[in-house]
Amino acid sequence: MAKLPDMTKHRGFPSGLPGTGFQFTVRRANPKGATKIIERKRFPDRTSTEKLADTAFLHAIWHMFGDEPFERGNLDAGRISWLFNREIVPGEHPFDPQSYTALLRIDETVARKTHPDAFQDVLEV
């Protein structure tokens, strides 16, 4: 088996949204390199469960890192991509979207407008 790239594991971070297939973290690094973070277009016909997954993911990030930059590490690129360049933005310049060590941060102003429940002390899922 190929040597896996180094990847920070955010201990205590939820692995996903319970009762759904939406994951928030990955178990191990991809031997071919990190999946690229992209900006995914959000269409108005998204289900309430998809929207809840975004809110729960943002809630977990806020309660683990607050307004400080955080390393991508084992956070799922697909889930980040639904929020990227809106609620989650690059935390460093230049930004490498294919790096496990890339820094990200929450754009609190945007996130509080689009996902106000993510900033509550407890999020009911």
Question: For residue 4, what pLDDT is reported?
Answer: 75
* 64-86: average pLDDT: 97
| CA nearest neighbour of 61 among 84, 45, 27 | 84
Render the burial of 94-108: b for 16+ CB within 10 Å, e for the rest.
eeebebbebbbbbbe
Q: How confident is the model at residue 125 (pLDDT cuts 50, 70, 90)?
A: confident
* Tens digit of each residue's pLDDT (9 = 90 or more) over 18-60: 999 999 999 999 999 899 999 999 999 999 999 999 999 999 9
Average pLDDT over every residue of 9-26: 96
